[in-house]
Amino acid sequence: MKYPCPKCEQPGISLKNKYRVGYMQDTFCEHCNVRLSANPWFLVPFSLVYMWVLAVCAFLYMFESIGMMAAVYAVIAWLVVDVLNVMLIPMTEMDG
C-alpha cells in the first residue's frame, strides 16, 4: 500500500515511511524525491494524545488497582492512536 505524495500526487510513500513521519521523522517521495514531513499542526495534537494515553494508563495502574489490565488498555489505545496517526496526519513538503 502506497500513499500519495502531496507534491506530485503519485503513490510514492510506503506504509513504513508514512508511519515514521508520524514520529517526527522525514521521508522522501519515490517519484519526485521531495523531502516530506508530517504537518506540524496535526502532529502536535496527536503527540498530546500519545501522552494522554500514557498518563491515563499510568493513573489506572497506580490508583485504581486494576493491575495488568492497565497495560492491556495502554497497548490497545496505543495501537488505535497509531492507526489514526497513519490514516489522518497529512504530509507536507519541507522547505530547503
13 pLDDT higher than 70: yes
pLDDT at 96: 55
Reading the block at residue 72, the C-alpha cell is: 492491556
Q: What is the pLDDT of residues 43-59, one digit of tens each?
A: 888 888 888 888 887 88
Give which of 16, 51, 40, 48 is closest to 89, Cα–Cα.
40
- d(Cα 95, Cα 34) in Å, to the nearest integer? 9
| Count of beta carbons in the 10 Å neighbourhood of residue 18 | 20
pLDDT at 58: 80
Q: Identify residue 12 by its one-letter amino acid code.
A: G
On average, the pLDDT of the chain sits at 83
**Alpha-carbon distance values, 40 to 3, 5, 19, 28, 37 (Å):** 18, 17, 15, 17, 8
Q: Which domain holds residue 17?
A: 2-93
Q: In total, how many domains does the chain have?
A: 1
